Structure 1
Amino acid sequence: MRKTYPSDLTREQFAMIRPLLERVRKKTHPRTLDVYDVFNGVLYVLKTGCQWSALPHDFPKYKTVHSYFMKWNEQKFVQRKKQPSILEQALKKISWRGPYLQWTQRQDKHGHR
């Protein structure tokens, strides 16, 4: 059992977005970790702005949380039109009020993400 953080969703809130988040993963073998804890790890980083490596140790490994973040945050294009990422859709569905654009809109001086 891990500690509860202010950025955590309730299990009921998470149930609304679980199908959305789980459709990203290839189902080649049984899942060994709880996606609820992974998503709350992402929310913790978004809310606190901490480095991935500073994620508290009671969350799944920070590299795992970051890997899921990268998958969920991928932008898709349909007929040259940018579609919201899975993460954007999930955050909208739960009415997320924390920072998020700093992660998606960050670009270097050459316009790259």
Structure 2
Amino acid sequence: MVNSFLELSNVQWSSVVKLLPESLPKRNPRGRPTVCLRSALNGVLWVLTNDSPWAHLPARYPVYQTCHRYFLGWYQKGVLLPVLVELFGNEGAELHRLVEARMRPARWEDPYSASVAAAAVRGARRYLNLARGAILGLGRQGPSVAP
């Protein structure tokens, strides 16, 4: 797959940095060392827009485990949706909906729910390609079907 992701511009970064809770100063300096939030967010956006596995994250970003940890934290805290909407508008909200469809829940109440969710995840891949094309301004993705 061709990497068509563009890094965040200074204007985009300044509009979303205030939404990230990690941008606030730490009270206690102990714990994990901090990483550049901008590069971590760029890594998360690279994975979401390219529909690639986390392990395929290019070396210019922090290690994939770090980017994935930030992604999960932002997703669970509800920060990811405002960031995507701020950056991409309605297409960002659609991308967030597709991300939600692909997330694995902690546990299923019954097997029927699991099979319905699995079908939704399989179907979400097709719509993710269309949303990714709209976000990147590429138009329709994939080969065209001859009549």
TM-score of the superposed pair, with normalisation by structure 2 = 0.56
More helix by share: 2
2:115 to 99, 109, 113: 109
After TM superposition, give the deviation of residue 95 of structure 1 in Å.
2.3
Residue equivalent to 1:11: 10
Taking the aligned partners of 1:68 and 1:40, their CA distance within structure 2 comes to 11
Aligned-pair identity in percent equals: 26
Residue equivalent to 1:78: none
Q: How many residues align?
A: 100
Where do 4+ consecutive residues of structure 1 move more than 4 Å? 23-26
Q: How does 1:1-113 map to 2 (within 5 A)?
A: 6-23=5-22, 27=26, 28-29=28-29, 32-74=34-76, 85-96=78-89, 97=91, 99-106=95-102, 108-109=114-115
After TM superposition, give the deviation of residue 94 of structure 1 in Å.
1.7
SS at match of 1:100: helix
Q: What does the per-residue CA deviation read over 1:51-89, in whole Å, with 9 as the maximum and x for residues that have no partner?
A: 0010001100100000000000015xxxxxxxxx10001
RMSD across aligned positions (CA):
3.0
Taking the aligned partners of 1:25 and 1:63, their CA distance within structure 2 comes to 22
Based on CA coordinates, which of the two structures has the bigger radius of gyration? 2
Unaligned runs of 5+ residues in structure 1 are 76-84
Q: 1:44 to 1:55 in 2, by over 3 A?
A: same
Q: Is the 8 A contact 1:7 1:43 kept in 2?
A: no
Taking the aligned partners of 1:26 and 1:68, their CA distance within structure 2 comes to 16
The one-letter code sitting in structure 1 at the alignment partner of 2:82 is Q
After TM superposition, give the deviation of residue 111 of structure 1 in Å.
5.4
